[in-house]
């Protein structure tokens, strides 16, 4: 239109580098954007996808335990996370150790364990996002944040399957 390069037509994408305009290119970008977190006991290459062979209560509990343990280790409280294979558990529990009761990392993981406790929004923010002030760095690094989001996804699916099986009735 008006003699310039096409902007909104499909013609502009013909000259773009491979994968830029293709829908699969967007997917590949999102998958590889967290490749840095594909390490540790439970490598994360995709936050959302759960392989069909692992989409059952036992596998999801195992994944949740490994993710929770890795997060606890990053927060230097690995000894507080123990495996819990009971039918309605999240796959792990947090040991009630009085010395760590106020530890924000313990509170963060307790949100998802079988012995859930409340966590103030400000503590959650400091763990995951941090604050703009000097010394306000988040306690979790980028890899741990990706693993935390993966843990949320795994637990959502785990609890869905637990509800579908009757919730222990």
Q: Transcribe 52-114 into DSSP letters.
A: GGG-SHHHHHHHHHHHHHHHHHHTT-GGGEEE--STTS-SEEE---GGGTT-HHHHHHHTTST
* pLDDT over threshold 70, residue 103: no
- Cα 43 from chain centre: 11
90 φ, ψ to 5°? -85, 0
Residue 105: per-residue pLDDT: 66
Split at pLDDT 50, 70, 90, the class of 36 is confident
* Residue extents of the structural domains in the chain: 1-33, 47-164
Of 15-29, 62-76, 86-100, 101-115, the one with minimum mean pLDDT is 15-29
* pLDDT over threshold 60, residue 25: no
Provide the β-strand partners of residue 83: 92
* pLDDT over threshold 90, residue 24: no
* pLDDT over threshold 70, residue 101: no
The CA distance from 34 to 31, in Å, is 6
- pLDDT, mean of residues 124-153: 87
Residue 15: per-residue pLDDT: 47
What's 8-45 look like in SS3? CCCHHHHCCCCCCCCHHHHHHHHHHCCHHHCCCCCCCC
Residue 163: per-residue pLDDT: 95
Higher pLDDT, 35 or 159: 159
The chain-wide mean pLDDT, for the chain, equals 77
User: pLDDT tens digits, residue range 58-94?
Assistant: 999 999 999 999 998 988 888 989 999 999 999 999 8
- pLDDT, mean of residues 123-147: 85
């Amino acid at each position: 239109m008006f003699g310039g390069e096409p902007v909104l037509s499909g013609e502009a994408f013909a000259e773009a580098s491979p994968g830029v305009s293709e829908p699969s290119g967007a997917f590949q970008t999102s998958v590889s954007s967290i490749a840095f977190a594909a390490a540790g006991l439970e490598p994360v290459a995709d936050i959302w996808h759960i392989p069909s062979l692992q989409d059952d209560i036992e596998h999801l509990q195992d994944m949740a335990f490994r993710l929770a343990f890795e997060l606890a280790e990053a927060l230097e409280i690995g000894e507080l996370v123990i495996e819990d294979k009971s039918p309605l558990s999240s796959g792990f529990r947090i040991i009630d150790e009085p010395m760590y009761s106020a530890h924000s990392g313990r509170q963060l993981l307790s949100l998802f364990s079988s012995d859930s406790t409340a966590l103030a929004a400000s503590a959650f923010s400091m763990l995951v996002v941090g604050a703009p002030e000097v010394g306000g760095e988040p306690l979790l690094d980028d890899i741990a944040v990706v693993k935390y989001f993966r843990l949320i996804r795994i637990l959502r699916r785990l609890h869905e399957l637990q509800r579908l099986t009757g919730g222990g009735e």
